[in-house]
Amino acid sequence: MRRSKLEMYVDILRILASQGPMKLTQLVHKTDINQGVLKQHLSFLIRQNLVEKQNFSRDEIFYTITERGLRVLNIVVPIIEEARKIPALLH
Q: What is the pLDDT of residues 2-49, one digit of tens each?
A: 788 998 999 999 999 999 999 999 999 999 999 999 999 999 999 999
The pLDDT of residue 90: 55
What span, in angstroms and rounded, lies between the C-alpha atoms of 35 and 86? 32
Lowest mean pLDDT among 21-25, 69-73, 78-82: 78-82
What span, in angstroms and rounded, lies between the C-alpha atoms of 21 and 62? 6
Running DSSP on this structure, what letter comes out for residue 88? G
> What number of CA atoms fall less than 13 Å from residue 39's CA on the CB side?
4
The pLDDT of residue 81: 84
0.75 cut: is pTM over it? yes
- Interhelix angle 5-19/67-83, rounded to 10 degrees, is 130
